[in-house]
Amino acid sequence: MGLLSLLSLLPAADAAPKTNFLFVLADDTGFGDMGWTAEQALQPPAGGGTFTVNPPRTPQLDAWARDGGSLIFDRFYSGNPVCSPTRAALLSGRTPFRDCITSANEQQPFPAITPTVAQQAQAAGYRTFFAGKWHLGCLYGGCLDWELGAHNSPAVRRWRSANPGNLGFEEYHATVAVTPSSTTNCGCSAEWASEGCIAGGGKYVNHTIHNTSGAFFEQGMHEGQGYFFNALDCQTFWRAAPGADPEKCADPTAMDRSCVANYTKKIPGDLTRFDVSLFESFLQKNATAPFLAYVALSTNHKPHYALPQWYHAYNDTLGRLAGDYLGTLSQMDDSLGVLRRLLAKHGIENNTMFWFSTVRPY
pLDDT value of residue 312: 93
pLDDT value of residue 143: 55
- pLDDT > 70? residue 319: yes
What is the number of domains present in the chain?
1
Give the integer Cα–Cα distance in Å for 20 and 348.
8
pTM for the full model?
0.87
Asked whether residue 69 is domain-assigned, the answer is yes
Asked whether residue 2 is domain-assigned, the answer is no
User: H-type helices in the chain, by residue range?
Assistant: 2-5, 35-41, 59-66, 83-92, 117-123, 154-158, 190-195, 215-217, 246-249, 271-285, 308-311, 323-345
3-state secondary structure at position 353: strand
- pLDDT > 70? residue 16: no
Report whether 122 contacts 32 (CB < 8 A).
Answer: no
- pLDDT > 80? residue 107: no
Q: What is the mean pLDDT of residues 315-331?
A: 86
Q: For residue 133, what are the domain limits? A: 20-41+52-358
Which stretch of 30-34, 87-91, 249-253 has the lowest confidence by average pLDDT? 30-34
Q: 45 or 133: whose pLDDT is higher?
A: 133
Give the integer Cα–Cα distance in Å for 338 and 237.
21
Give tens-digit pLDDT for 189-231. Answer: 888 888 888 988 898 887 654 333 333 333 333 334 333 446 6
C-alpha 121, offset from chain centre? 20
Give the integer Cα–Cα distance in Å for 335 and 175.
19
Report whether 37 contacts 55 (CB < 8 A).
Answer: no
pLDDT value of residue 147: 42
pLDDT value of residue 207: 60
Give the residues across from 292 on adjacent strands: 21, 128
Tell me the one-letter amino acid at 110: F
Give tens-digit pLDDT for 327-356. Answer: 999 999 999 999 999 999 999 999 999 999
Asked whether residue 131 is domain-assigned, the answer is yes
C-alpha 88, offset from chain centre? 13
- pLDDT > 60? residue 85: yes
Asked whether residue 123 is domain-assigned, the answer is yes
State the pLDDT confidence band at 318, using cuts at 50, 70 and 90: confident
Q: What is the mean pLDDT of residues 4-13?
A: 48
CATH of residue 122's domain is 3.40.720.10
State the pLDDT confidence band at 60, using cuts at 50, 70 and 90: very high
Cα–Cα distances (Å) from 261 to 48, 172, 177, 240, 243, in that order, read 58, 11, 16, 6, 11
3-state secondary structure at position 21: strand
Tell me the one-letter amino acid at 205: V
Asked whether residue 8 is domain-assigned, the answer is no
Asked whether residue 262 is domain-assigned, the answer is yes
